[in-house]
Amino acid sequence: MAKKLIELIVNGEAIEVAVNPRDLLVHTLREDLKLTGVHIGCETSHCAACTVDLDGCSVKSCTMFTVQAAGSEIKTVEGMAAPDGTLHPLQEGFREMHGLQCGYCTPGMIMRAYRLLQENPRPTEEEIRWGISGNICRCTGYQNIVKAIQYASDKLRAGEGAK
């Protein structure tokens, strides 16, 4: 099948990439664009390690063909820190609150939490747990991940107040 040339905006940068229609977004991001922060866990839309932000939605990039995303704006964990390297409050929260656990799910958790906090800047613990329910699988109690998201919520709102 002939490759299709498509345009995407990835982490603020407009790019063109040639893809086969059957290429999954996660493979394009990792293999063509070298954004390996997007993790492949299960490839069956269960685990959410591949979560990216796409046009204001958290999506599992293993369950979308890249051609479907043509024209879309995508943010991956690589686009979270400021250009000078200052961590996003969510990244800082995961570090400060020891939210990483083994770290494999972390990029997906951060990208999901990013959208959750856009939609609900002051979530309760229960709202956080429901909000990340697609990412949760079997690792302990997620206490520190919840605390990391609360940390980011507080810091982001404090930043808003200062403006």
**Chain positions contacting other proteins, by CB under 8 A:** 1, 4, 20-22, 43-46, 48, 51, 57-60, 63-65, 67-68, 70, 112, 116, 130-134, 136
Candidates 20, 68, 70, 26; CA nearest to 45 is 26
Beta carbon of residue 72, minimum distance to other proteins (angstroms, whole number): 10
Name the amino acid, one letter, at 41.
G
Phi and psi for 19 in degrees, rounded to 5? -135, 150
Running DSSP on this structure, what letter comes out for residue 38? S
Beta carbon of residue 81, minimum distance to other proteins (angstroms, whole number): 23
Cβ nearer to other proteins, comparing 30 with 60: 60
Beta carbon of residue 128, minimum distance to other proteins (angstroms, whole number): 11
Distances (CA, A) of 103 to 49, 76, 94, 106: 10, 16, 10, 5
Beta carbon of residue 160, minimum distance to other proteins (angstroms, whole number): 22
